[in-house]
């Protein structure tokens, strides 16, 4: 049965007008009282009447902007599904949205897209940020203008924002490092680590975790190369084909980002298929296919759908009710998948 604003007012022992002002983040309500009303409304499961809210708030329409470094990266398929589900849910509350996507990790291009979103008068931003000082400065500018920012999948250094939703990337790197170590069974291994770009904080942290674990616990594993493929299959193919031709001692490749399809194509074309062990991240369609066939030994996963959905949900709740998340960092679960637990 639908909870009414009158029931919220009775539970909070205030007037319906006070409830309306508190839930719509309008002046005239003591902050502590407003927070108590919002909490009671959430506990009761109160949902505002959408038609009434739309009419009442025409002058105060809120828009969520979304900016993802997702073009050409199959990992983001599930992130985008989560974002879209979150935006659909927020749409029931009268919140509009604008989604933009870029390819690669060009800080200037990302800044350009942020400006485009600002021209659309966004009320808040969900973003996978390039880890550059200029992008950090822009995010700080948005926060200073009361345009809250939620980072998803990857965070950014040296700037405070509403929340980050994603895994602990140093830990996820340590998990892959331990996995590689256990697979080696103490034998000498020569590996290549493949990432998209060190300009992505998540990937730089993941690389740090892998290297730290190998250095500390598995001295038998030698890192021969670290490649940056910009999450691009063509670059991944070219880089690995060149490396495999020059380095016949290579025994393992760890794809710590995208570019898996192009990289595996290079492996097949250089007759390394039976010799090389391959470990990846995430459960894209190409990873699932190669797990099933035995080309990929294992993959480390991070709940991409939840990253997209929760990023939008956290921002939407803040725009609707002024509710901040209990924790500014929301960590998604890290787990290992093989062909046996797909």
CA-to-CA dists, residue 99 to 7, 64, 115, 122, 277, angstroms:
37, 8, 13, 11, 38
pLDDT (0 to 100) of residue 61:
80
CA–CA distance from 193 to each of 13, 64, 145, 206, 266 (Å)? 60, 36, 40, 11, 15
- Whether the per-residue pLDDT at 56 is higher than 70: the answer is no
Residue 45 pLDDT > 90: no
Contact call for residues 195 and 228 (beta carbons, < 8 A): yes
Per the listing, tokens 């909070």 go with 12
pLDDT of residue 23: 81
pTM to 2 decimal places: 0.80
pLDDT score, position 271: 74
CATH value of 169-301 in 1.50.10.10, 3.40.50.2300, 2.130.10.10, 1.10.3720.10? 3.40.50.2300
Q: Which of 160, 141, 153, 207 is nearest to 180 (CA)?
A: 207
Segment 50-54 mean pLDDT? 50
User: Spelled out in words, what is the top-level CATH class assigned to the domain 5-47?
Assistant: mainly alpha
The mean pLDDT value for 10-19 works out to 84
pLDDT digits (tens, 9 = 90+) for 198-235: 999 999 999 999 999 999 999 999 999 999 999 999 99
pLDDT confidence band for 59 (50 / 70 / 90): very low
User: Residue 93's pLDDT band (boundaries 50, 70, 90)?
Assistant: confident
Q: Where are the beta strands (DSSP E) in 48-132?
A: 63-68, 96-101, 124-127
User: How many Å apart are CA 301 and CA 334, to the nearest integer?
Assistant: 6
169-301 matches 5-47 in CATH topology: no
Which segment of 4-8, 26-30, 76-80, 292-296 scores lowest on mean pLDDT? 26-30
Spatial strand order in the sheet of 329-331: 96-101, 63-68, 124-127, 149-152, 163-166, 329-331
Q: Is the pLDDT of residue 22 over 90?
A: no
The answer, yes or no, to whether residue 38 has pLDDT greater than 90, is no
Does residue 297 carry a pLDDT above 60?
yes
Mean pLDDT over each residue of the chain, to the nearest integer: 91
Helices 260-269 and 285-293 pack at an angle, to 10 degrees, of 40
Tokens of 307: 């990253």
Mean pLDDT computed over 2-20: 82
Q: Is the pLDDT of residue 292 over 90?
A: yes
Residue 1: band (very low, low, confident or very high) from pLDDT cuts 50, 70, 90: low
Sequence spans of domains, the chain: 5-47, 61-166+304-332, 169-301
Confidence of residue 328 (pLDDT cuts 50, 70, 90): very high
pLDDT of 101 higher than 50: yes
The dihedral through the CA atoms of 217, 218, 224, 229 has a sign that is negative
Class of domain 61-166+304-332: alpha beta
The encoded tokens of residue 300 equal: 């480390």
**How remote is the C-alpha of 178 from its chain's centroid?**
23
Neighbours of 114 (CB within 10 A): 23
Q: Which residues contact 244 (CB under 8 A, 6 or more apart)?
A: 250, 266, 267, 270, 272
pLDDT digits over 241-284, tens only? 999 999 989 999 999 999 999 999 999 998 765 579 999 999 99
Q: Which residue did the predictor score with more confidence, 146 or 58?
A: 146
pLDDT of 48 higher than 50: yes
pLDDT reported for residue 270: 86
């Amino acid at each position: 049965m639908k909870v009414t604003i009158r029931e919220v007012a009775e539970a909070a022992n205030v007037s319906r007008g006070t409830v309306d002002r508190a839930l719509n983040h309008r002046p005239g309500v003591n902050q502590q009282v407003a927070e108590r009303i919002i909490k009671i409304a959430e506990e009761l499961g109160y949902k505002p009447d959408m038609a009434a809210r739309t009419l009442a708030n025409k002058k105060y329409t809120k828009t969520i902007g979304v900016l993802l470094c997702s073009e050409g990266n199959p990992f983001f398929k599930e992130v985008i599904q989560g974002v879209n589900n979150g935006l659909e849910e927020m749409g029931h509350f009268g919140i509009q949205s604008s989604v933009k996507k870029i390819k690669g990790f060009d800080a200037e291009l990302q800044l350009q897209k942020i400006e485009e979103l600002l021209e659309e008068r966004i009320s808040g931003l969900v973003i996978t940020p390039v880890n550059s000082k200029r992008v950090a400065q822009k995010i700080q500018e948005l926060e200073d203008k009361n345009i809250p920012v939620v980072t998803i999948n990857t965070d950014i250094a040296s700037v405070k924002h509403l929340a980050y939703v994603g895994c602990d990337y140093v830990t996820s790197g340590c998990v892959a490092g331990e996995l590689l170590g256990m697979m080696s069974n103490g034998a000498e291994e020569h590996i290549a680590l493949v990432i998209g770009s060190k300009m992505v904080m998540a990937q730089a942290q993941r690389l740090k975790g892998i290297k730290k674990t190998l250095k500390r616990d598995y001295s038998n594993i030698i890192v021969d190369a670290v490649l940056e493929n910009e999450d691009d299959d063509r670059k991944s193919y070219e880089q690995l084909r060149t490396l495999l031709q020059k380095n016949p001692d290579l025994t393992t490749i760890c794809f710590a980002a995208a570019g898996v399809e192009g990289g595996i194509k290079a492996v097949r074309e250089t007759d390394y298929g039976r010799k090389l062990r391959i470990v990846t991240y995430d459960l894209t369609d190409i990873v699932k296919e190669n797990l099933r066939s035995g080309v990929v030994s294992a993959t480390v996963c991070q709940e991409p759908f939840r990253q997209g959905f929760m990023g939008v949900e956290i921002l939407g709740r803040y725009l609707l009710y002024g509710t901040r998340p209990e924790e500014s960092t929301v960590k998604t679960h890290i787990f290992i998948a093989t062909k046996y637990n797909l």
